[in-house]
Amino acid sequence: MTCQPASEWHQPERFYEVLGRVMAALATIGVLDEMTELRWWSADQTWKVEWRTGPDPHQVAAMLWQGAADPQDPASLALRATTSLDRSNGSPHYAYLQVQGVPVMLRVLDPAESGTELVAAPA
């Protein structure tokens, strides 16, 4: 048996489970209502989650990453502490996470209009 990355072709159940976990975590931290024109799709074995205006993707990624690491945080139930944060991309428009080995890109299209300050959702 070869070790294939999780993708919609090699491990579709895990690949789609990751999208569900990310969306549940976004709802748990309370940012879904702030995101306008939210869309998601897969490309290059990566989930792309994109919104027109709303919170900064780096802030969202940091909140998800911190929530996954804290067993008391409601987001940790959705992410099960399997998230890593990729801080190397340097773009203000994109942030990357790894959730159960599946890359997830968070992207805001109009960052100039996205000056929303995030506040952690109440527990």
- Whether 25 shows a pLDDT value over 90: the answer reads yes
Domain boundaries, the chain: 12-109
pTM of the complete model: 0.80
What fold characterizes domain 12-109? Beta Polymerase; domain 2 (3.30.460)
Question: Which has the minimum average pLDDT: 62-71, 76-85, 103-112?
Answer: 76-85
Beta bridge mates, 107: 50, 94
- Whether 121 shows a pLDDT value over 50: the answer reads no
* Consecutive H or E run containing 94: strand 94-99
Beta carbons of 76 and 65 less than 8 angstroms apart: no
How far apart, in whole angstroms, are the C-alpha atoms of residue 22 and residue 5?
A: 18
- Whether 123 shows a pLDDT value over 50: the answer reads no
**Count of Cβ atoms closer than 10 Å to residue 25 Cβ:** 26
How far apart, in whole angstroms, are the C-alpha atoms of residue 62 and residue 68?
A: 10
How far apart, in whole angstroms, are the C-alpha atoms of residue 24 and residue 94?
A: 20
Which phi and psi (to 5°) does residue 52 adopt? -75, -60
What does the pLDDT look like over 95-107, one tens digit per residue?
Answer: 998 888 899 999 9
